[in-house]
Amino acid sequence: MSIHPDHRHDAGTPATDHPPSGTTVAPTGDDTLDLRVADLVALLARRGARTEAGTGTGTRTESEAGSAADTGTRTEAGTGTAAGTRTEAGTPVGTSTGTAPGTDLLDAVGSWAPAATRFGDFRLVPVRPERDLPLLTRWMNDPAVAAFWELAGPDTVTADHVGAQLEGDGRSVPCLGVLDSTPMSYFEIYRADLDPLARAYPALPHDTGVHLLLGGAADRGRGVGTALLRAVADLVLDHRPRCTRVVAEPDIRNAPSVSAFLSAGFRYAAEIDLPDKRAALMIRDRSLRHVL
């Protein structure tokens, strides 16, 4: 499953919440919008929905079939990670550190407690390039992943992408997704209200965005992406008390990805134009988290 971050994290001036002329967005009260699944299916059919090549999961989410839709993030096809993978420096990948909650823009992602899923205990571990770059580069060079993330190439390509976030002001945190001590996915947790994405929809303060890819074929096609997307959204809402919404923006043509978000408790809010795609704005509301 993979979801491509077509917008780029901007380390400069925070984006405004005014969409560009001609952009289709939900009205300011869109957080009450409820799109029936039948309506969504018809919409996607009209848009020529297609499954991401080579993935069975989906943001980057993956569907139960492992499409790039289940998590509203992307999954990567092909590459798996070995159980109990260790870093080159010998530090277990499942070990993380973080500053105290409330001291940074994303409330210390590295200190968040693990989440229980039906596939095992899941944790977000902030990326350390000296430890994680070979693994991330291998994932990014999987053809199915590269088609959406567009980061295929030598390790310098991945290093630049991750480094831009690590060297920024903390509005985006790249993380390994570790399931029962095995690194098997890549997440970007970011401040959507401070991202260029905020220009395309009526952002609220502390809106938090999610990008995801699954690293191995074995984790696609069996609902892992959906489970992780729900778990990560719950982690955000549990550890970021000021955040009222978790958002994602899969390609509107990626029916499996959109379906995965819906299965993970997100709702379809609008179609929005981003620099490299027309996206489905998916939102998981704190007020509806125990309903959807």
1 pLDDT band, cuts 50/70/90, is low
In this predicted structure, what is the pLDDT of residue 82?
29
User: Which tops the pLDDT comparison, 85 or 163?
Assistant: 163
More confident residue, 22 or 141: 141
* Sole residue written with tokens 């981003």: 274
Give the pLDDT confidence of 8-23 residue by residue, as tens digits: 444 444 454 444 444 4
pLDDT, residue 12, reads 42
Element counts in the chain: helices (H) and strands (E): 6, 8
Gap between the Cα atoms of 241 and 267, Å rounded: 20
Q: According to the per-residue pLDDT averaged within each range, which of 16-20, 142-146, 242-246 is highest?
A: 242-246
Average pLDDT for 81-99: 42
Question: Lowest mean pLDDT: which of 20-24, 70-74, 248-252?
Answer: 70-74
Predicted confidence at residue 217, as pLDDT, reads 78
Instruction: Give the alpha-carbon dihedral of 41, 144, 247, 167, to 10 degrees.
Output: -170
Of residues 284 and 15, the one with the higher pLDDT is 284
Average pLDDT, the chain: 75
For residue 284, the model assigns a pLDDT of 98
pLDDT in tens, 114-127: 999 999 999 999 99
CA distance 80 to 35: 35
pLDDT band per the 50, 70, 90 thresholds, residue 85: very low
Contact between 98 and 125 under an 8 Å Cβ cutoff? The reply is no
The structure tokens 């390039």 sit at 129
Which tokens hold the place of 60? Answer: 């980057």
Q: Supply the pLDDT for residue 220.
A: 78
131 has a pLDDT exceeding 80: yes
Region 33-61: what's the mean pLDDT? 39
Q: Which of 115, 124, 110 is nearest to 234 (CA)?
A: 115
Give the pLDDT score at 287.
94
Question: What pLDDT was estimated at residue 276?
Answer: 85
Strand partners of residue 245: 285
Between the alpha carbon of residue 268 and those of residues 21, 90, 136, 249, 256, the distances in Å are 22, 43, 30, 10, 13
Average pLDDT over residues 87-91: 39
- Range scoring the smallest mean pLDDT among 41-45, 177-181, 242-246, 254-258: 41-45
Q: What is the pLDDT of residue 42?
A: 47
- What is the pLDDT at residue 271? 96
> Which tokens belong to 107?
């409330």
Residues 58, 52: Cα–Cα separation, whole Å: 8
Distance CA 223, CA 131 (A): 28
- The confidence score (pLDDT) of residue 93 equals 65
